[in-house]
């Protein structure tokens, strides 16, 4: 029998009618950290910065096959983490940083990973890593700058999504994976596109959910407002890593992640509760993310343009025509309208499918039954 459930994971929350959950689940995951660019090598960013060392926090589910041909690499969204699926044991949970604990024990796409689910660890070797620049264990503004003897903070070099893709490619090297199915949503979908263009020989299939080929003026405007909410806060200027302006930044972002129909469906009888919801999500965000990582990653997102240096968007996406690809739009997505995703699919010669939902951009995280059905028609 289906049940009504209030789902909360990371910054996401929705009231859903859910089928009974399968009793089968994956073993409690254990996050690991890999040094991918050691100090003897370092990492030069696309914009001319330098990191003397790069580490990525990651989790894996399942085992790499003898032929090394069953890997799936999943990229998370702007404020996601490596914790894709499963529930941490208490000892593991307590060993995490305060920000990681605030994210929660359950993975952000848990409904899709497990025995009998679309990303079944008995079939696939599923990999999820925290992006470079984030605050959940990978090298970012919170990391120690060995040259200065203190955390990077505001001195962390600016990144592009191509930097993020390059770090993830090195993780595949570290894990002995030559080729993988690559999946990403939102910012993760943008990184997936860049990864496929930079390393086409390493991609078996490409899945892009709720992400465009270029971060255009509408989406950049939301990021600009969110950053200004942080940058203009006197608390931020005085060094507070979680200024009140960051709560406002999250509220602005949440308005782009949701849609009017979802607000009306949930709060039509008490519209003031929609405002309370945004305030609540902002306060939660202060406990689980760091201002400098938010600034670094949102600026990196604004560099997204697959056509940069490749003769334009159309010419760049033509390079993907020999690669099996699936682009998934959302009918109520205000941030990256479905038509943008559909156009990218057409130019890349890929399949296009659409999620129907009142929940807007976040539907790729919320409507997991639809996502599973869409992926089931594409994955081997």
Query: From CA 356, how far away is CA 361, in angstroms rounded?
Result: 11
69 annotated as a binding-site residue: no
H-type helices in the chain, by residue range?
Answer: 90-94, 98-103, 161-175, 187-198, 217-231, 234-237, 244-257, 260-267, 272-288, 291-302, 313-318, 338-348, 363-366, 368-376
For the record, the structure tokens of 217 come out as 């003026």
DSSP state of 304: -
> Could you write out the DSSP letters of every residue in 113-137?
BSTTSSB-TTT-EEEEEPPTT-SSS
Distance CA 331, CA 351 (A): 16
Indicate which residue of 76, 131, 359, 361 is catalytic: 361
Residue 111: C-alpha distances to residues 30, 107, 203, 342, 365 (Å): 18, 9, 24, 26, 10
Distance separating alpha carbons of residues 323 and 1, to the nearest angstrom: 41
In sequence order, what are the residues at sequence separation of 6 or more whose Cβ sits closer than 8 angstroms to the Cβ of residue 54?
Answer: 35, 36, 37, 43, 132, 139, 167, 170
Q: What is the DSSP string of 101-115?
A: HHH-SB-TTGGGBST
Q: Which of 186, 226, 256, 325 is catalytic?
A: 186
- Catalytic, 173? Answer no
The reply to whether 131 belongs to the active site is: no
Is 250 known to sit in a ligand binding site? yes
Of the candidates 220, 189, 221, the residue with the CA atom closest to the CA atom of residue 206: 189
Query: Exactly one of 128, 333, 357, 359 is catalytic; which is it?
Result: 333
Structure tokens that stand for 178 in this block: 């030559």
CA distance 147 to 149: 6
**Neighbour tally for 338: CB within 10 Å:** 18
333 counts as catalytic: yes
H-run or E-run covering 377: none
For the annotated binding site, the residues are: 250, 362
Q: Which residues are catalytic?
A: 186, 333, 361
For the annotated binding site for substrate, the residues are: 250, 362
């Amino acid at each position: 029998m289906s049940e009504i459930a209030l789902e909360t994971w990371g910054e996401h929350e929705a009231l859903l009618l859910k089928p009974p959950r399968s009793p089968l689940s994956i073993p409690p995951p254990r996050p690991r950290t890999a040094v991918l660019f050691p100090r003897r090598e370092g990492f030069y960013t696309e914009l001319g910065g330098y990191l003397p060392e790069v580490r990525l926090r990651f989790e894996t589910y399942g085992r790499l096959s003898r032929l090394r041909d069953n890997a799936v690499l999943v990229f998370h969204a702007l404020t996601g983490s490596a914790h894709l699926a499963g529930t941490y044991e208490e000892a593991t949970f307590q060993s995490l940083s305060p920000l990681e604990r605030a994210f929660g024990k359950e993975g952000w796409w848990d409904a899709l990973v497990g025995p009998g689910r679309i990303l079944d660890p008995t079939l696939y070797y599923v990999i999820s890593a925290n992006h470079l620049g984030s605050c959940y264990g990978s090298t970012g503004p919170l990391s120690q700058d060995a040259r200065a003897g203190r955390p990077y903070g505001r001195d962390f070099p600016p990144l592009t999504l191509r930097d993020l893709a390059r770090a993830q490619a090195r993780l595949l090297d570290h894990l002995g994976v030559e080729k993988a199915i690559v999946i990403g949503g939102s910012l993760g979908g943008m990184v997936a596109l860049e990864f496929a263009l930079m390393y086409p020989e390493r991609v078996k299939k490409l899945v892009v959910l709720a992400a465009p080929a270029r971060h255009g003026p509408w989406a950049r405007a939301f990021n600009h407002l969110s950053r200004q909410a942080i940058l203009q806060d006197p608390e931020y200027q005085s060094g507070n890593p979680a200024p009140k302006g960051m709560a406002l930044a999250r509220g602005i972002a949440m308005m782009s992640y949701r849609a009017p129909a979802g607000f009306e469906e949930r709060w039509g009888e008490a519209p003031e509760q929609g405002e309370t919801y945004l305030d609540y999500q902002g306060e939660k965000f202060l406990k689980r993310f760091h201002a400098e990582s938010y600034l670094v990653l949102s600026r990196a997102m604004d560099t997204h343009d697959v056509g940069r240096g490749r003769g334009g968007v159309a010419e760049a996406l033509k390079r993907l025509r020999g690669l099996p690809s699936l682009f998934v739009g959302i009918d109520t997505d205000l941030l990256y309208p479905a038509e943008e995703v559909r156009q990218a699919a057409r130019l890349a010669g890929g399949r296009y499918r659409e999620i129907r939902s009142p929940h807007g951009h976040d539907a790729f995280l919320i409507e997991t039954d639809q996502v599973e059905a869409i992926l089931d028609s594409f994955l081997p």
